[in-house]
Structure formats: C-alpha cells, structure tokens
Amino acid sequence: MSVPRRPTEPQGLERYYVLTQGRSGPGGAASSLDVATLVVSRATPLPGMQHEHAEILRRCRDPLSVAELGAHLGLPFNILAVLLSDLLDAGRIEARDPIPAHDAGRGADLALLEEVLSGLERL
Amino acid sequence: MDSKGFDRPGRPAAGRTRSVKVMIAGGFGTGKTTMVRSVSDIRPLTTEETLTQASAGVDDLIGVADKTQTTVSLDFGKISLNDTLTLYLFGTPGQERFWFLWNGLFKGALGAVVLVDTRRLASSFRAIEEMERQQVPFVIALNVFPDSRDHPVEEIRDALDIPPHTPVVAFDARDRSSSRDVLVALIRHLKERPAVALEPR
C-alpha cells in the first residue's frame, strides 16, 4: 500500500497555500503594501531560505515595485504581500509606499507635482 | 532594464528612490493598455490579484478545490522622471465591478486619467462615477479613434456631466507625446486643485 506523498510541484491555489503556509493576507507592517510600493533588500539570501524569499532578496537589490516583482515572479499581489510581510518582519527588506499628492489635512505637495511635471516635460 | 538612479542598498541613492502612481481608468476597449504602452519606458507588464471565495466554514487544504478563483489583472508601465523618482501607471481592470475587490486600488495615487471613446460615451460612465465616489482627482481624455466624429469638448462635458473645473482633453492613445500631454494636463490640474484631503481608506 502506497503512502500518500505531498506533491512536490503543487499547482494553482495549492501552490499558493504552500508558499504562504496557509496565510491569506499580510498583517502588521505589510498590510499597507501597494502595487507601487518600492521594495529594496537589506540582506542577502541565506542558505536554506524559502526559494521565493531568496528570489525576492535577489531581485530587489535595486528598488523594485511590488507590481514588477509580482509580474517577474508570477505571483498574485495578495500572495506576494504575505511573503513580503515575512521579510519585512525579519528586517530583510525595506518598503517605501508611493507618495500621495495630498497629505491628509494638508494642501497639495507642490514641490512633488513640479518635479513630476518637469520629468514628464523632458520625455 | 534601465536601472539608472537605482543604487545598491547602503548607498545614499537607494534611500532616496521614490515612486508615485497614476491610474488609467475608463470603460472596456477605450485604450487604457494602449496608452500605458505608448508612454511607458518598459514593455507593459501585468500584475494580478487572485481572489478566492471559500464555501462557508471550509478553511483547510481539503477545501481548496472547492474554492472559486477570480483573477483581476492590472497592466502597468513606468516612466523614470529623474534619477530618484519613478512614475508608475496602472491600467484599471475593464470590469469596474471588480474594482472594490482590489483593496485600496486608488489609495495613494496622485490622480487618474479617465479614457473616453467618444463613439461609446456610456462605457466610461461607471469609471467617472467611481472617481467621484472615491474622491480621486481626474482628467477626462477623449481617445480620438480614426472614425470618431468631431465632438465639441463642451458637448461631451455636458453629456458626461463633468464639472467645469475638471479638464477634458482630446488625444491619441497610440502616440507617446500625445499620451504624455494628458499626464501633463493631469499634473497641472492637481497643482491648481484646492487643498482637499483625500478620503482615508
């Protein structure tokens, strides 16, 4: 009689379940992650580290957006957010959210808008 | 990929790299992806959000097969504005009914461009309503298709019920400088906009 084995290459939702150890959403520091949040590594991959964690650290040696990371790794946003949350909690990455044009209660960030404008006008 | 301006961790420039985002909205087939493609520095990429709905009370691996999976995709591109500032452009999913599922889709965006096909004005009604409801500042960009007949801007503003302070511009989504000009119109609009706090999530 054969013993059931865990599939070595889980597919689809099962793959995501394995990657995230069943967690469905990030908590703590990563709950505000945005598709335009920039991620940068603060550490190098360690031997024995989960493959996806190591891959994130390698790809984010230069700041990379969460959206680009998801596209390159073929992972949906919510799954990637769980993995990023692990790395954030361990202090292995730093995340920087996109800058809004308006801060709550304050006026427009005119210096930022001017910077965006002159960048666009140079295109 | 051009990595100009992105520096190694520990060096000062990495600490100064910042991002801003602009959403490209509009009805199905209005040219959102075309615009992202024409103005982006990179070939547009796609990022996905997988939404799962479990049957009640089922939350273990055994139940995985019973979950339904819905994927909402965002096409996106980016523009390097200077050495430390990158603009990300996200084309919203064509099916606006999924927008609410993508938590905070518009949160933190500078603003939005709502594309309108003048031959099918109604296809962008829903996108305009969403911008107003979520208090996202926007400009209306009329994507001029070859067989679009000439519409006076004021006639379209009236048909779409757009307030007078919201810019309405005509452009060609296939053209890089034309698409760039729409983004310039949005940023100028943001600069002139009175100080209004965006609704917190």
What pLDDT, in 10s, does the model give residues A105-122? 566 789 999 999 999 999
Per-residue pLDDT of B174-183, as tens digits, reads 999 999 999 9
Q: Do B28 and B91 contact (CB within 8 A), yes or no?
A: no
Q: Give chain B's residues under pLDDT 50.
A: 1-12, 54-65, 196-201
The count of CB pairs under 8 A between chains A and B is 164
State ipTM.
0.82
Nearest to B20 among A17, A78, A99 (CB): A99
Residue B114 parent element (H or E): strand B111-117
At residue A11, the pLDDT reads: 66
Per-residue pLDDT of A11-29, as tens digits, reads 667 777 777 777 766 655 5
Joined together, the tokens standing for residue B91 give 């084309």
At residue A2, the pLDDT reads: 59
Please state, in angstroms and rounded to a whole number, the distance separating the CA atoms of residues B163 and A47.
59
E-only strand ranges, chain A = 38-41, 64-65, 93-96
At residue B68, the pLDDT reads: 61
Residue with tokens 């905070």: B104
B141 beta partners: B115, B169
At residue B55, the pLDDT reads: 41
CB atoms under 10 Å from CB of B125, counted, come to 15
CB atoms under 10 Å from CB of A18, counted, come to 15
The β-bridge relationship of strands B111-117 and A93-96 is unpaired
CA-based nearest residue to A71, from B42, B164, B196, B112: B42
Is A98 within 8 Å of B74 when comparing Cβ atoms?
no
Higher local confidence (pLDDT), A7 or A3 = A3
Determine the residue among A120, A121, A122 to mutate to test chain B binding: the one whose Cβ has the most chain B Cβ atoms within 10 Å. Answer: A120
Per-residue pLDDT of A45-75, as tens digits, reads 999 999 999 999 999 999 999 999 999 999 9
Q: What is the CATH number of domain B12-192?
A: 3.40.50.300
* Domain ranges (residues) in chain B: 12-192
Nearest to A13 among B52, B79, B80 (CB): B52
Name the minimum distance, in Å, from the CA of A66 to any CA of chain B: 9
Query: How far is residue B176 CA from its own chain's centroid?
Result: 16
